[in-house]
Amino acid sequence: MSVEYKALGRNDVNSVESILADDAIDFGDLAHTTAVGADAIFTWDYERSRAGLSKLYERAKSSQWNGSTDLDWSIDVDVEFVAREMQSAIAHLRQRLTDLPNSPLKTWTEDEWTNLAVEAFNWRMSNFLHGEQGALLCTAKIVETVPWIDAKYYASTQVMDEARHVEVFARYLDTKLEGHYPVNPALQLLIDDILGDNRWDMTYMGMQIMVEGLALAAFGFMHAVTQEPLLKKMLRYVMSDEARHVAFGVLSLKEYYEGLSGSEIRERQEFAYDAALRMRDRLMMQAVWERCGINRKAITEMLFEIHKPGVNPFQAALFSKIVPNCKKLGLLDAGDAWLRDKFTEIGVIEFEDAPDTETEYAILDAVAADREAASV
Ligand SMILES: [Fe+2]
Ligand SMILES: [Fe+2]
């Protein structure tokens, strides 16, 4: 490969100026419009030739749950308590940032840290909500653009799943939390790129593998640490759907990538790298820090200052689903292992041998089956 790829159109992917410029983009108060780039494809081949997708479709039909009646919305939520439960996620980060010379965090009281945790909880839930809407629109696009009938059937069930996810996150935010956040610009820029791309498989790569892979890891962490019964049950239900969604992505792309040329695979690697960078930028949570009195530039610089080998300040564990799934698709090592090098540079390659989602899907699917058995 002769010309070095310019990821995100940046000369330097770690440029604080570029990161802040993207983070300052305003996606509107009430609505945001973006162009969808692909052709809608009708197929006249109704043959059910893809057994794996067909099985997922059957599973999806029998795994529908109802956000209105399967969750107990009368539960009172102690937001500070839940936020404190999640503080372990940033304990290491907190120490590193506080230890920096002249760190403004040296004088922070426990109350200020609790306030940050409450804001971060709010921010996470808000961006789960916006990300779920992204998934809803992307899956509707997949129904239109994927050429295979089995995939159209399956994707249609995912549209319903995503509508339900938007519904339950919106309801949780509206009835249990205050002070919601607008969409994180790095997330929305990625969703706009996914919707705008004219290659149908890029919707899968961007949404099913990258955005949903990160969401699944984040939901898993939150589900493991929280004792809040409404959130815990809601996340368990959402995760059993999400695991199926990522499995759908892996299954479809594995088949499609087998027929692509080396240069076409390289384009997919570049797309995956761009998406990973957007995810990394998203996790800097500048809006949260700003609301807590630390300006966006200062926190971004501090985060890079503590970034050194062995110390990743960007919550790298959230890449624990993305990297093994890219590996399973053959993207890590194709073409001189370009993507492996890039994932090494941004400090997430250590997750390559974490369980991929097809393996994990079997576990979460068993959870879903238990739930059905219990409700009979
Ligand atoms: Fe979802
Ligand atoms: Fe999903």
Output the CATH code of domain 79-375: 1.20.1260.10
What pLDDT was estimated at residue 376? Answer: 43
Distance (angstroms) between ligand 2 centre and the Cα of 205 equals 13
Concatenate the DSSP letters of all residues of 187-205 into one string: HHHHHHHHHH-SSHHHHII
Tens place of pLDDT for every residue, the chain, 376 residues? 446 789 999 989 989 999 999 999 999 999 999 999 999 999 999 999 999 999 999 999 999 999 999 999 999 999 999 999 988 777 888 998 999 999 999 999 999 999 999 999 999 999 999 999 999 999 999 999 999 999 999 999 999 999 999 999 999 999 999 989 999 999 999 999 999 999 999 999 999 999 988 888 889 889 999 999 999 999 999 999 998 998 899 999 999 999 999 999 999 999 999 999 999 899 899 999 999 999 999 999 999 888 765 455 556 777 888 899 899 999 999 999 999 999 998 888 888 998 776 666 666 665 556 655 665 4
Distance (angstroms) between ligand 2 centre and the Cα of 254 equals 18
The dihedral formed by the CA atoms of 264, 267, 271 and 277, expressed in degrees to the nearest 10: 140
Distance (angstroms) between ligand 1 centre and the Cα of 161 equals 7
Shortest-distance ligand to the CA of residue 357: 2
**303, 313 Cβ separation under 8 angstroms:** yes
Shortest-distance ligand to the CA of residue 158: 2
Distance CA 328, CA 208 (A): 14
3-state class (DSSP) for residue 293: coil
What pLDDT was estimated at residue 319? Answer: 84
Shortest-distance ligand to the CA of residue 209: 2
Shortest-distance ligand to the CA of residue 164: 1
Domain boundaries, the chain: 79-375
Sign of the alpha-carbon torsion through 341, 342, 347, 353: negative
What pLDDT was estimated at residue 87? Answer: 85
Distance (angstroms) between ligand 1 centre and the Cα of 83 equals 22
What pLDDT was estimated at residue 357? Answer: 67
**53, 252 Cβ separation under 8 angstroms:** yes
